[in-house]
Amino acid sequence: MKQKKVALITGAGRGIGLGIAKALASEGSDIVIADIHEEQAVGPALEELRRLGAATLYCRADVSDRGAREKMLEAVRNRFGRLNILVNNAGVAPKVRADVLEATEESFEWVMKINLQGPYFLTQAVARWMIELKRNDPSFEACIVNISSISATVASPSRGEYCISKAGVSMATQLWAARLGEFGIPVYEIRPGIIRTDMTAAVQAKYDKLIAEGLLVQSRWGLPEDIGRAVAMLARGDLAYSTGQVIMVDGGFSVRRL
């Protein structure tokens, strides 16, 4: 019997990350959730994943903390002995939306450590492990998916540090795709648009108005399950010959119109 794939999704206690976890569980993967909350807070999410047939592991970890990353991967090794899918989803918005003329270095550093530096070095550690697994078993299947944002290319001067962090994630995708190609490990970027989550709740009225006025080709909010379906497609290997590519899940926001 073929072993089930094991997927690690950061920031998956809720929102987009949980949507991804549910999609992968529905596809038959076992699931590792990493988040910063107490395990009790994500208990309902873990139970939902188990009902979908997944064995689960919760790792309370801040991706910006090297020790926490190392401890998390050791827990995955001990529980499953392998890791087929890494989804770098964890991310934060600035605590205060500040004009780029007023933004602080402290906010910049905080956002960068969580959104860019942490995922970059988590990918490094996971990639080394995946290469080891691949060398021991050439049939071993693996992939890495980075969740960025339309903010990687769309300037929002009130949250410049967020935009720069997501642009960095986009380049990191290219770098890892180029480096891991020889090992048959594809790396992808999914670039969500306006997705209904806790992060966007504070600006719901703003985006409701923009969507109603025709901002998007598809006139609705995106949902976490929209991102989940895209990740599931990549994890299945449906785009196996497309490493390094950006998958837009933005309701047509990026379509240029007159």
Which helix H or strand E contains 235, and what residues bound it?
helix 224-236
Catalytic site residue 58? no
Interhelix angle 160-180/118-136, rounded to 10 degrees, is 20
Query: Judging by DSSP bridges, how do beta strands 85-88 and 6-10 pair with one another?
Result: parallel
| Among the listed residues 58, 65, 46, the one whose alpha carbon sits nearest the alpha carbon of residue 8 | 58
Please tell me which residue in 58, 120, 162, 188 is annotated as part of the active site: 162
Partners of residue 247 on adjacent β-strands: 190
Task: For the chain, list the strands marked E by DSSP.
Answer: 6-10, 30-35, 56-60, 85-88, 143-147, 187-192, 246-249
**Could you give the C-alpha distances from 128 to 75, 150, 209, 222, in angstroms and in order?**
16, 29, 46, 34
- CA Rg, the chain, in Å? 18
Task: Count CB atoms within 10 A of the CB of residue 94.
Answer: 18
Which helix H or strand E contains 45, and what residues bound it?
helix 43-51
- State the Cα–Cα distance between residues 195 and 67, nearest whole angstrom: 31
Displacement of CA 37 from its chain's centroid (Å): 17
Catalytic residues: 162
